[in-house]
Amino acid sequence: MVRAGLTTERVVRAGAELADEAGFDQLTVSALARRFDVKVASLYSHVKSSQDLKTGIALLALEELADRGDAALAGRAGKDALAALGNVYRDYAREHPGRYAAAQLRLDPATAAASAGVRHARMTRAILRGYDLTEPDQTHAVRLLGSVFHGYVTLELGGGFDHSAPDTQETWTRVLDALDALLRNWPAT
């Protein structure tokens, strides 16, 4: 009997691909076993549970996203940096909808703290260096940017902007314009 050469790494990566292709809600250990042409139980040597598999995909996505973010932010500041990071999230979600959905999973505190999630907060904060904000407004702005990026990407991907003009690319550009303007003219308390 020829072995399939499974490893946790490869199982999680294949799970991410399956989620991207079939949708995150279609991701099951059974479907993944079929993809490897292997019996279901075999996967349980590499993955503790279905939940564990999903968490693994979430961690993978968070890391890939953070890597892209770091690369995009290098050498950029101000509005350039803002648009670059926004595009990273938007493009990633379009390319990898399943992974992006996984990245929204609620992780338990310990896992979250050890994840690339902290890099995301740092990246957003880095953008704000190009604007004149001090604490606590900086934190407020970090949260606002996170909300807009996540909210926009989710709604667009979910089809919330379908069937209405103008097209979403134009809106996205103008949203970035608006955020830049807002950060340059942040209202005083």
Interface residues with DNA (CB under 7 A)?
1-7, 28-31, 38-42, 44-46, 48-51
Q: Which residues of 133-146 are buried (b: 16+ CB within 10 A; e: fewer)?
A: beeebbeebbebbe
Q: Cα 170 from chain centroid?
A: 22
Residue 171 contact among DNA, its own copies, none, beta carbon within 5 to 8 Å by kind: its own copies
Residue 178 contact among DNA, its own copies, none, beta carbon within 5 to 8 Å by kind: its own copies
What binding mask, one character per residue, do residues 111-150 give for its own copies by CB under 8 A, x or -?
Answer: ----------x--------------xx-xxx-xx-xxxxx
Give the whole-angstrom CA distance, residue 25 versus residue 15.
12
Give the whole-angstrom CA distance, residue 11 versus residue 8.
5
- Measuring CA to CA, which residue among 35, 50, 49, 28 is closest to residue 4? 35
50-109 binders of its own copies (CB under 8 A): 104, 106, 109
Residues of this chain that interact with its own copies (CB under 8 A) are 104, 106, 109, 121, 136-137, 139-141, 143-144, 146-152, 154-155, 158-166, 168, 170-171, 174-175, 177-178, 180-182, 185-187, 189
